[in-house]
Structures are given as C-alpha cells and as structure tokens.
Amino acid sequence: MKMPLFATLLAATCLPLAGPVAADEPRRPECIAPAAPGGGFDLTCKLAQSALVQSKLLKAPMRVTYMPGGVGAVAYNAVVAQRPAEAGTITAFSSGSLLNLAQGKFGRFDESAVKWLAGVGTSYGAIAVRADSPYKTLDDLVQAIKADPGKVVIGSGGTVGSQDWMQTALVARSAGIDPRKLRYVAMEGGGELATALLGGHIQVASTDIADSVPHIESGDMRILAVLSEERLPGESVADIPTAVEQDYDVVWPVIRGFYLGPKVSDEAYAWWKNAFDQLLASEDFAQLRTDRQLYPFAMSGAELDAYVKQQVMQYKQLATEFGLIQ
C-alpha cells in the first residue's frame, strides 16, 4: 500500500530523531599500551585484541603499539594533542592513570580531555619479592623497613605519587612508618618491575597481581600480600594472603579500560561502545578476562565517565593527605 504524502514527509522528518547512524567498523584498529611491553597496559590491550577479533566484532586485526613515558602521560598527551580524531585508536588506562591525572601529572590536560569508553576488568595491587627473599610475610618486610628504611629497595611503576608508590605508602602509613623514608626506584610499568626484581636489582616490587601470575606460576616470585578485600579466586592466587588479614588495612583495586580521542565522532564512539557492551555481556569474554587474572568490572559510556571523574576527586583527596598536592 502506498504511503500518503503527509505520512512520508513526517517519517522523513522524524528519522534524525532516531539517533545517529551507526558508523562502520573502524579502519586500521589499534590499541595503545602506554608503557613498555609486559605490564598491565599491555595485558589490557591484548585482552581487547583477542576478544574483539575472536568475537568477530572486528574483522581487521587490531595491532598493539607501545608508547611508554610518564606511566601514561606521553600517550595521553599524544592522543589529545596529536591524534584526537583517530576513530580506530583506543588507549588503555588504569586506576594509576586516574591517580596521575588527579595530581596534574599529565600536563595541561585533565580528566575531561578524552572520551572515556569502557572499563573491562579489575585487578589488585600486590607486594612482590623474589621466591628466595628472606621476607616471607608482609610483616617481615615491614619490620625490616622499620629497622632500616634505606636498606630495603622498593621498585615502583612511576615516581613518588604513582599508583605503585601509593600502595606501599598506604602499607607504611598503616604500620606507622613515614612513607617519605621509603627507598624507591622508579620504573616504567610492570614488565620492567618484574625484570628488575627477578634480576636482583630491587628487593621488593609494588606491582599488580595480574602482572605477577606468570612469575608466580614459574616459581620465581612470591607475593607477600594482595591488596584486595578478601582472597582472590584462582589456582595460582587463592593461597595469597591479603594485607587486611595481616592487620594492614590497605585495599587497592586497579581498574582497567580504554579511552578514545576527544574529537572522535559520536558515531565512531557509539560503534566502540556497542562493541564493548556486547563483549562485557559475553561469557567468552568473561573467560578471557579470567585467563588474564582480571576480575569483573563493567562500565561504559556516560556511566564510566561519571565513575572516572568521581575517582579522580577521591584520588585528589588522597594525594592531598600525603602532601603530594596542595
């Protein structure tokens, strides 16, 4: 039956109200890991790489590129200032990125400078030593630091005020130790931390449990404490005690996810959001996440944007307590 002219015109007029037309699959998809290979950002990108291709949401292969510097600062500035409209480029972030943003460590750009896309999982902070370390428990380490803070060399991803620094600073504060007395060596990401620890260049690594699992399974590394509310599931980590159960009231979740450049079109953003929403509802993705020792966390779009801004506010307060910002 032929539609009356008025109805045809009305339908045409209403079409734009249905929302933006979905964009095509992005060309040359890329995930930027803002650190050297082998750490948490690398793991986050490779999770997306595997999941998007395995699910056939992406037909073209996604490449992972590495952009170390400032624990995310170099990548953030490059995306915002030099590559703001690249529809095919997603960049990994973590809670550590948000902590650095809270302290102004990303230069002139703040948490409103990018389009927050999806949070896809969470890990937890961990305090690691070599398997042959004399420190068998978190209390062994704390007592050694109390006896001579300068004698225990702690490696962290980033400088004073970074996420890894904050983890051990919180443990120190819980034990009544001035965090400023701790002896730190700053590194770029979990891969460098593990190499330095296993090579004997540092005695302790303030790290992430997801980064550490391969070294736990190989028998090279021991975790003194995981900074979770309770013990984690999984054969490799189930026997690792929390800091809380050892009477150090420190919990540090590490959210992992992605953002897009600020000038990426709404249509391209909607394509990526829809893709990640499908992944986050998938049992196959849940298994991929578990395989990488990440735990459930699922947010996208406006919900994630609000979460990020709330977290940055909380981290500003924490940084102020430690005298990192005025």
**Amino acid 1: pLDDT:** 41
Q: Is 10 contained in some domain?
A: no
Q: For residues 183 and 150, is the Cβ–Cβ distance under 8 A?
A: yes
**Amino acid 42: pLDDT:** 93
Q: And the tokens for 205?
A: 């690594």
Task: Among 231, 253, 275, give the residue marking a domain's end.
Answer: 253
Q: How confident is the model at residue 53 (pLDDT cuts 50, 70, 90)?
A: very high
**Amino acid 15: pLDDT:** 37
Give the span between the Cα atoms of 54 and 282, in whole angstroms: 12
Shared domain for 164 and 273, answered yes or no, is no
pLDDT in tens, 81-132: 999 999 999 999 999 999 999 999 999 999 999 999 999 999 999 999 999 9
**Amino acid 310: pLDDT:** 97
**Amino acid 16: pLDDT:** 38
Shared domain for 263 and 295, answered yes or no, is yes
Shared domain for 136 and 65, answered yes or no, is no
pLDDT in tens, 7-36: 433 344 343 333 334 568 998 999 999 998
**Amino acid 12: pLDDT:** 40
Shared domain for 242 and 140, answered yes or no, is yes
Residue 218, CA distances (Å) to 70, 83, 204, 210 in order: 30, 40, 18, 14
| 206-234 average pLDDT score | 93
φ, ψ for residue 11 (rounded to 5)?
-65, -40
Shared domain for 263 and 205, answered yes or no, is no
Q: Is 6 contained in some domain?
A: no
pLDDT in tens, 158-195: 788 999 999 999 999 999 999 989 999 998 777 888 99
Q: And the tokens for 218?
A: 């190989």
Shared domain for 143 and 80, answered yes or no, is no
Q: Is 1 contained in some domain?
A: no
| 220-247 average pLDDT score | 95
If one counts the domains in the chain, the total is 2
Percent of the chain at pLDDT > 90 equals 79
Percent of the chain at pLDDT > 70 equals 93
Helix (H) or strand (E) holding 130: strand 115-130
**Amino acid 210: pLDDT:** 87
pLDDT in tens, 249-285: 999 999 999 999 999 999 999 999 999 999 999 999 9
| 150-164 average pLDDT score | 89
> Among the residues of the chain, which ranges form H helices?
5-14, 40-54, 73-81, 95-102, 138-147, 163-174, 190-198, 209-217, 266-280, 283-291, 301-321
Give the span between the Cα atoms of 94 and 84, in whole angstroms: 20
Shared domain for 82 and 186, answered yes or no, is no
Shared domain for 150 and 239, answered yes or no, is yes
pLDDT at 316 > cutoff 70: yes
Shared domain for 81 and 136, answered yes or no, is no
Shared domain for 45 and 95, answered yes or no, is yes
Range of the domain at 235: 124-253
**Amino acid 36: pLDDT:** 87
**Amino acid 121: pLDDT:** 97
Give the span between the Cα atoms of 185 and 141, in whole angstroms: 17
Q: What is the pTM of this model?
A: 0.85
Q: DSSP string spanning 29-89?
A: -EEEESSSTTSHHHHHHHHHHHHHHHTTS-SSPPEEEE--SGGGHHHHHHHHHT-TT-TTE
| pLDDT mean across residues, the chain | 90
Shared domain for 140 and 233, answered yes or no, is yes
**Amino acid 4: pLDDT:** 43
Residue 307: which CATH number? Answer: 3.40.190.150
Shared domain for 155 and 247, answered yes or no, is yes
The one-character DSSP state at 242 is B
* Higher-scoring residue by pLDDT: 157, 227: 227
Give the span between the Cα atoms of 79 and 95, in whole angstroms: 18
